Amino acid sequence: MLLKYLGEGGNALPASLKCAVAVSVPCDLRGSAVKLTRRSNLIYMARFIRYMRRKLKLKSKAHLAPDGFDFDRLNRLRNFPEWDAVVTARLHGFKDVEDYWEQSASIRYLDGIQIPTLLITAQDDPFFSTSCYPVAQAERSRHFWLESPRHGGHVGFVSSAGNGEYWQEQRISAFLQEHVGQKLEVAACLSVS
């Protein structure tokens, strides 16, 4: 959402927004959804779907889900392509799952980013297809950088420099300092992807 926001906003972003960092973003929603259907990701997919199913049922009890939603069908959904087709696209007014993936994927907005923005995504992220790595966009942009270390999995950059800080924290801090011009401490900011 952050990368899409930055790309859509272009030069119209608030002046107080100086730079941004995103970590392990599925820039191509379709590519990531399909990759997660692979056998090697079944345990993750089952966990994600269980979590989302519970969340939607809670929203329904709070009257935040649409009337007449077929919860029996919800219990049969097994992966993101099915979930996005039956739930996400419908709840958010998209024509279908392909329309949702196309309209919402940040990859199509990256060329519009006009502030220094770093995306850190490991080459061994098990949730991302090749199309999730915006190499071409980073190569042609003056404002958007892709840093793709060989290892790190999905938000798993756990190597330490011996001082208790993880590589990811150090890299984010250095990027922010470079572009904001002052010493900053990186606070833990998590985004569920």
Instruction: Note whether residue 72 is domain-resident.
Output: yes
Shared domain check, 168 and 130: yes
pLDDT of residue 127: 95
The model's pLDDT over 62-99, given as tens digits with 9 standing for 90+, comes to 766 566 667 788 889 999 999 999 999 988 899 999 99
DSSP label at residue 66: P
Find out whether 121 and 127 touch, Cβ atoms under 8 Å: no
Q: What is the pTM of this model?
A: 0.85
CA distance 40 to 38: 5
pLDDT of residue 190: 40
Confidence bin at 193 (pLDDT 50/70/90): very low
pLDDT of residue 70: 73
Q: Answer with the one of 77, 103, 129 that is the final residue of a domain.
A: 103
Q: Which domain holds residue 81?
A: 31-103
Total domains in the chain come to 2
